């Protein structure tokens, strides 16, 4: 896709300034087409995911009616409830209805009979806040650590960062959370152990965000530092970086101005794919810190075996991940296009 949308480089580079200014609207249009194309492709993949989720919920034994059933309920009661929830209609009809309702923000009805949208309206933004803070911190930290290690190849700093990154990316977030909770909260008392929710449904103080964010950041930084370090190592082997080194440019300049731009596509892909891990981890970490996010809602859904609610969360998470992947697609297309 990047190869197709790449603008022809030669005329553009050869064109004198006035003509380039005249070509500006055309380039803006090309950019718009490119963005729309990438967005359409991501949207299509999201629709496929929705179809798979819907089919999975249908194909798996047990539905919302049996999930909410109480002990000793007769088959007739069950059938009545199934009719009430519309589960006795044909599969394609329900799928079509579900899909057409999605753009209006209707995610269906939970097993308890409440609107899924209503159940997720407060918690999902909180989870996004947690995930986005962790994402930004992960990007900054892994770029910094990866560059730092790459500036000292094979030396102690490089090896230490490498080992720490390898060790940390395998550890589940809930284990990191427990260790943080014990050290930072229960033994030293520096940070609050549980999140208290304010009147608006958000955490009452920013200090309550620190530990959940750190618990998410540590494993993800380990993973992404390895990706940044590896991408930079691949770049240092390329002729233009070798030439920059032989020109006697300082290490910092070689790394940031010559190696890093070429490494951006690999880094963007790597970091974008860890969004899913971040959101999944957020769900788990929230449970432990009592953070008012999707994780807390899901903990209830697990007990009630509320599949429609979980499908709703999957859709929201899928949409968020699609957006980050789209940003990575565009970034990659820009960098590759500019360097062609």
Partner 1 sequence: MSATATAGPAAGRPRTRPGRARALCRVAPGALLVLLALGGPFLAPHTLDTPVTAPYAPPGGGALLGGDQLGRDVLSRLLHGGTALIASALLVAVAVTLLATLLGCAAVLRPALGRAVERTADVSILLPSVLGIMLVALAWPGGGRGPVVAAAVLLGVPYAVRIVAGAAAPLASSGYVEAAVSRGEGLAYLAVRELLPNLRATVLALFGLRFVEGVYVISMAGFLQIGPQPPAADWALMVRENAPGILLNPWGVLAPSLAVALLAISVNLAANSLAPQSVYKAVTFK
By CB under 8 A, the residues from 253 to 282 that bind partner 1 are 265-266, 269-270, 273, 276-277, 279-281
Residues forming a β-bridge with 197: 203
Residue from 166, 205, 251, 253 touching partner 1 (CB under 8 A): that is 166
> How many CA atoms lie within 13 Å of 98's alpha carbon, on the beta-carbon side?
28
- Given a contact cutoff of 8 angstroms between Cβ atoms, the answer to whether 2 and 337 are in contact is yes
46 lines the binding site for partner 1 (CB under 8 A): yes
Q: What is the 3-state secondary structure (H, E, C) of 17-37?
A: HHHHHHCHHHHHHHHHHHHHH
Size of the site for partner 1 (CB under 8 A): 66
Residue 143 or 321 having the CB closest to partner 1:
321
Q: Which two tokens mark 257?
A: 């101005």
Residue from 68, 236, 244, 291 touching partner 1 (CB under 8 A): that is 236
212 lines the binding site for partner 1 (CB under 8 A): no
Distance of CA 209 to the CA centre of its chain: 18
DSSP 189: -
Could you tell me the smallest distance in angstroms from the CB atom of residue 150 to partner 1?
A: 9
288 lines the binding site for partner 1 (CB under 8 A): yes
Residue with tokens 């200014």: 21
Could you tell me the smallest distance in angstroms from the CB atom of residue 283 to partner 1?
A: 6
Could you tell me the smallest distance in angstroms from the CB atom of residue 13 to partner 1?
A: 25
Residue from 40, 182, 196, 207 touching partner 1 (CB under 8 A): that is 182
11 lines the binding site for partner 1 (CB under 8 A): no
Could you tell me the smallest distance in angstroms from the CB atom of residue 77 to partner 1?
A: 18
Residue 27 or 114 having the CB closest to partner 1:
114
The contacts of residue 216 (CB under 8 Å, 6+ apart) are 130, 131, 134, 138, 173, 278, 281, 282, 285
146 lines the binding site for partner 1 (CB under 8 A): no
By CB under 8 A, the residues from 64 to 93 that bind partner 1 are 66
CA distance from start to end of the chain:
14
Rounded Cα distance, 258 and 245, in Å:
10
Rounded Cα distance, 242 and 330, in Å:
28
Q: What are phi and psi of 75, to 5 degrees?
A: -65, -30
Residue 30 or 53 having the CB closest to partner 1:
53
283 lines the binding site for partner 1 (CB under 8 A): yes
Nearest to 228 by CA among 324, 159, 141, 156: 141
Contacts with partner 1 by CB under 8 A lie at 45-46, 48-49, 52-53, 56-57, 60-62, 66, 153-154, 166-167, 169-175, 178-179, 181-182, 186, 226-227, 230-231, 233-234, 236-237, 265-266, 269-270, 273, 276-277, 279-281, 283-284, 287-288, 298-299, 301-302, 305-307, 310-311, 313-314, 317-318, 321-322, 325
């Amino acid at each position: 896709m990047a190869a197709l949308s790449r603008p022809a480089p030669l005329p553009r580079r050869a064109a004198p300034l006035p003509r380039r200014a005249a070509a500006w609207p055309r380039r803006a249009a090309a950019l718009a087409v490119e963005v729309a194309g990438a967005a359409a492709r991501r949207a299509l993949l999201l629709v496929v995911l929705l179809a798979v989720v819907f089919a999975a919920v249908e194909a798996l034994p047990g539905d919302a009616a049996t999930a909410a059933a109480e002990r000793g309920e007769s088959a007739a009661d069950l059938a009545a409830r199934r009719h009430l929830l519309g589960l006795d209609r044909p599969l394609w009809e329900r799928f079509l209805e579900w899909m057409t309702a999605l753009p209006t923000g209707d995610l269906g009805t939970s097993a308890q009979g409440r609107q899924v949208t209503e159940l997720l309206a407060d918690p999902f933004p909180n989870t996004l806040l947690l995930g986005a803070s962790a994402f930004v911190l992960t990007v900054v930290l892994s770029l910094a650590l990866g560059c730092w290690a790459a500036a000292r190849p094979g030396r102690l700093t490089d090896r230490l960062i490498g080992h720490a990154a390898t060790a940390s990316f395998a550890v589940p977030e809930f284990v990191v959370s427990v260790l943080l909770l014990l050290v930072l909260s229960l033994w030293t008392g520096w940070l609050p152990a549980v999140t208290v929710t304010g009147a608006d449904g958000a955490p009452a103080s920013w200090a309550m965000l620190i530990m959940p964010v750190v618990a998410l950041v540590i494993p993800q930084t380990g993973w992404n530092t390895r990706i940044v370090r590896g991408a930079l190592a691949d770049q240092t082997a390329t002729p233009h970086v070798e030439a920059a080194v032989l020109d006697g440019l300082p290490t910092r300049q070689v790394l940031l101005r010559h190696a890093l731009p070429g490494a951006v596509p690999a880094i963007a892909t790597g970091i974008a794919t860890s969004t899913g891990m971040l959101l999944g981890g957020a769900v788990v970490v929230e449970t432990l810190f009592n953070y008012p996010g999707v994780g807390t809602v899901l903990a209830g859904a697990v007990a009630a075996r509320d599949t429609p609610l979980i499908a709703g969360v999957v859709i929201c998470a899928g949409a968020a991940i699609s957006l980050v992947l789209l940003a990575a697609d565009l970034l990659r297309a820009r960098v590759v296009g500019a360097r062609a």
